[in-house]
Structure 1
């Protein structure tokens, strides 16, 4: 009886500490095709992007096979000043899948999981294993409404709450939100 209680307690503790249903990642990501500039279409709110609009991320392949990451945004709380931070990303393993690690403050790395990706690399969705973060990115400052609706449905299917997304002001002439709806 004592062993059964110990096993039940251990299973309960393990179940509380580790997510059992991490999001699925893209099986194959060609980092050479991923390089370039991406526009943020939407994101989950987070402290490090508070007050940001006109958000972009630019990736450049480095000689060691890692990526340089340059994130830029216009800080609305600082008289339209541009904020920029440079980091590095690398594959999290040898599988070539969408699991990357990124750092902006070495030696601390965070999870960067590509959970959805257009076949032509025109848009990408980046998440986190515990669904703490989420970004929808595109090669242009907007996505067609039908594409966005499909992405939102797939995100819900992966356990993300699409209602938490905030849409990024990219300053397009007709307004970034008109093209999302």
Structure 2
């Protein structure tokens, strides 16, 4: 089955995340999203499985203002081999709560901010249908390296309210042993 799903994704030119049979839920982006207070470092607290992050921990994203409405995106993590891995790209706000993110060598992808308070949590999601399969990407980002349970519960409620199954989330290790880049 995994070989079949990999072949489907390869044929559809997708990088797979959580793949299952179904349709994408109807979700709502944050209508009053403002990229300026969103800038800075966010720690990945929870995520759905994503091929491009397989086995990584200590993942964080640093967003910066590049001017002219362009946001710099720098994702940094630690591989299963202990190496620092990173990718740098750009994002542009294309609709309220929706950014188009571009990394070198990859097609642009939508980055839907479902909700954020800019100070403690952000809920990011994307879903795409390939035939009768859906490919979902979801992240709970937090400003704190190790957020409290109330923050995670608040974020999970946002996903659940949007019809997204939070049981697909798994925690991402963050800690003093992580090689955070300045």
TM-score, with normalisation over the residues of structure 1?
A: 0.76
Larger % of strand: which? 2
Unaligned runs of 5+ in 2: 1-22, 129-134, 178-182
Which residue of 2 is the match for residue 124 of structure 1? 122
How far 1:65 sits from its partner (Å)? 1.5
**Contact (CA 8 Å) 2:121, 2:151: kept in 1 or not?**
no
Q: C-alpha displacement at 1:32, in angstroms?
A: 1.2
Residues paired across the two proteins, number = 149
CA-based RMSD: 1.9
Q: Give me the whole-angstrom Cα distance separating, in 2, the residues matched to 1:144 and 1:20.
A: 29
Say if 2:166 is the partner of 1:162: yes
Measure the CA separation in 2 of the matches of 1:68 and 1:125: 19
Tell which structure's C-alpha radius of gyration is larger. 1
Is structure 2 residue 46 aligned with structure 1 residue 48? no
Q: Structure 1 residue 45: deviation in Å?
A: 0.3
Q: Which of structure 1's runs of 4+ aligned residues deviate more than 2 A?
A: 19-22
Superposed displacement of residue 157, structure 1: 1.9
Shift, 1:129, TM fit: 4.3
Q: Per-residue deviation at 1:123? A: 1.2
Within the candidate set 72, 87, 112, 1:85 is matched to: 87
- 1:12-60 Cα deviation digits (max 9, x unpaired): xxxxxxx685310101122111110100000000100001000000001
Paired with 2:69 and 2:155, the residues of 1 have a C-alpha distance of 29
Measured after TM superposition, the shift of residue 64 of structure 1 is 2.0
Match of 1:14? none
Task: Say which of 39, 62, 66 aligns to 2:66.
Answer: 62
User: Mean alpha-carbon deviation: is it higher for 52-61 or for 122-131?
Assistant: 122-131
Structure with greater helix percent? 1
Asked which structure has the greater RCO (Cα within 8 Å, sep 6+), the reply is: 2
Cα distance 1:165–1:111, how it changes in 2: closer, same or farther (>3 A)? same
